[in-house]
Amino acid sequence: MTELLRKTAEELGRLIAAREVSAAEVAQAHLDRIAEVEPKVNAFLHVNADAALAQARAVDERIARGEKLGPLAGVPVAHKDVFTTTGMPTTAGSKILEGWLPPYDATVTRRLREAGLVILGKTNLDEFAMGSSTENSAYGPTHNPWDLSRIPGGSSGGSSAAVAAYEAPLSTGTDTGGSIRQPAAVTGIVGMKPTYGGSSRYGLIAFASSLDTPGPFARNVLDAALLHEAFSGHDVMDSTSIAAEVPPVVEAARQADIAGLRVGVVKEFGGEGYQPGVLARFREAVDLLESLGAKVVEVSCPSFGYALPAYYLIAPSECSSNLARFDAMRYGLRVGDDGTRSAEEVMALTRAAGFGPEVKRRIMLGTYALSSGYYDAYYGQAQKVRTLIARDFDAAFHQVDVLVSPTTPTTAFPIGERADDPMAMYLADLCTIPTNLAGNAAISVPCGLADEDGLPVGLQIMAPVLGDDRCYRVGAAVEKALEDRWGGPLLAKAPAL
């Protein structure tokens, strides 16, 4: 593995801008790495080799002409295959969209192109971002670079694995119930779920509209902040986008000082169902925060216990409607159109053939929860729980500046272990879901390896709405202290592929 691959995105950006290395060399190094490890990892659904090199050369030319570009110009990025990209297929990990070439770029895609980032390709995911393991992809599972027999998390598992395997220094993901933070945690990297509305959903293939949030993956906190800043901010194409400045995330990541900060430990997270090694690393992280000058208190969020059931009503309800457009009429797969069948029959046959089991489960669950007669008891009640969870956060953030918890109850589980046990799978998102329901910000940063299995554990840092910078500030402080302790990044401990 060449040294270029180990560099941070921030370093690569500086080297490229200073013409000490060309963007084309950087792209080629990553493409070579992809060619080398993809047979083992399967992080990518599509590799954009020729276009990536062309894009990199164009950046090099602009720099040679003396143009002043952004800090990540020429740095490679991999996109979760749920963002639309012109010139590249976009499948959402589903057979129903196999080969679909979108005629437009997602806002996230477009902004990163404009910032000069080089798109390496599209990464694997649980079909339509529904899952916590990337096993629900129609194109085969992605493998965790720490242990190829284990899941890389999900739904953005291709993006987390690609960054953890040094196939890309940066990647994008989406977080609906933990789909960025959980994969980041189990692959030992940084993953951030911005404030809902802080990053545009335009061109993000919807799973659950009121929860979906695009966010960055990186191997360190500063890189994540740089990527976050590059694609975030108000977008007139997304009604739910917040018309406010992007919080000063890069500045916060560089600051990394938490003296006097008030940190709350969520009382409700921990105990039964949590792996001892995860809890041990989490407690050490809390001690570390205290040693860095933070004031740590325990905070109770009584409604968080109902977040998981509320989520599994709200998200499927929205998805049942969002996925109705995949009907074989305008784009995508069409099955059974033999000239005798009706449109209705062709729709039903196509959807049965094109969607995987988890997607079907959630569509039917959502259809059930929205049905007249059940609406109030299920969807309506879940929305009230959502209000209560937001109130719990409000109360907590009156007492403390950030809340912390383990990102996930366990480390990466073996591929296949929970594949046909939806309830067990859903537990992976226990600690991440409340933030999605309330719309606030949260990050996962590596906090060590569990003793039982030697696999990465993530620390989740939650901040109020538009307090994204606090996640980076605390995350960077923890990262710095731990890397000093470890003598380098956690990923350095990962086995070579």
Partner 1 sequence: MSAITRDEVAHLARLSRLALADEELDHFAAQLDQIVGAVARVAEVAADDIPPSSHALPLTNVFRPDEIRPSLAPEQALSGAPAVEDDRFRVPRILGEEA
Partner 2 sequence: MADTETLMPYDEALERFEPVLGLETHVELGTASKMFCGCPTEFGAPPNTQVCPVCLALPGSLPVANAEAIESTIRIGLALNCSIAEWCRFARKNYFYPDMPKNYQISQYDEPLCTDGYLDVVVDGRTVRIEIERVHLEEDTGKSTHVGGSTGRIHGADYSIVDYNRAGIPLVEIVTKPIAGTDTLAPEVARAYVTELRELVRTLGVSDVRMEEGSMRCDVNVSLMPRGSSEWGTRTETKNVNSLRSVERAVRGEIERQAAILADGGRITQETRHFHEETGRTTSGRSKEEAQDYRYFPEPDLLPIAPDREWVAALKAALPELPSVRRSRLQAEWGVSDLDMAAMHNADAIELVEATVAAGAPAADARKWWMGELARRANEAGTALAELSITPAEVARVTELVASGALNDKLARQVLEGVLAGEGSPDDVVAKRGLQIVNDEGELSAIIDKVLADNADAADKVRSGKVAAVGALVGGVMKASRGKADAARARELILEKLGVS
- Piece of the chain touching partner 1 by CB under 8 A; list 49-57, 171-179, 214-222, 319-327: 319-327
Residue 166 or 312: the one with the smaller Cβ distance to partner 1 is 312
The reply on whether position 344 binds partner 1 by CB under 8 A is yes
Q: Scan residues 206-225 and list those touching partner 1 (CB under 8 A).
A: 210-211
The position carrying tokens 């990044």 is 489
Candidates 80, 95, 122, 193; catalytic one: 80
Q: Scan residues 271-310 and list those touching partner 1 (CB under 8 A).
A: 303, 306, 309-310
Task: Report the residue from 360, 417, 480, 483 that binds partner 1 according to the rule CB under 8 A.
Answer: 360
Judged by the rule CB under 8 A, the positions of this chain that interact with partner 2 are 82-84, 90, 92, 97, 100, 102-104, 106, 201-206, 208-210, 236-240, 317-318, 320-321, 324-327, 329-331, 339, 343-344, 347, 367, 370-372, 375, 379
Q: Scan residues 449-488 and list those touching partner 1 (CB under 8 A).
A: 465
The reply on whether position 348 binds partner 1 by CB under 8 A is yes
Output the smallest distance, CB 112 to partner 1, in A: 22
Task: Report the residue from 64, 364, 395, 492 that binds partner 1 according to the rule CB under 8 A.
Answer: 364
For residues 430 and 436, the answer to whether their CB atoms sit within 8 Å is no
Q: Scan residues 366-425 and list those touching partner 1 (CB under 8 A).
A: 367-369, 371, 377-378, 380-388, 390, 422-423
The reply on whether position 103 binds partner 1 by CB under 8 A is yes
Considering CB distances under 5 to 8 angstroms, the limit depending on partner class, which of partner 1, partner 2, none binds residue 90? partner 2
Is residue 155 part of the annotated active site? The answer reads yes
For residues 75 and 12, the answer to whether their CB atoms sit within 8 Å is yes
Total residues contacting partner 1 by CB under 8 A comes to 72
Tell me the sheet residues that pair with 216: 172
> What is the Cβ-side half-sphere exposure of residue 3, based on CA atoms within 13 angstroms?
3
Residue 118 or 466: the one with the smaller Cβ distance to partner 1 is 466
The reply on whether position 327 binds partner 1 by CB under 8 A is yes
Considering CB distances under 5 to 8 angstroms, the limit depending on partner class, which of partner 2, partner 1, none binds residue 372? partner 2
Is residue 179 part of the annotated active site? The answer reads yes
Residue 358 or 479: the one with the smaller Cβ distance to partner 2 is 358
Candidates 160, 171, 179, 200; catalytic one: 179
Other C-beta atoms lying within 10 Å of the C-beta of residue 482:
20
Is residue 342 part of the annotated active site? The answer reads no
Candidates 22, 155, 171, 200; catalytic one: 155
Residues annotated as catalytic (active site), given as ranges: 80, 155, 179
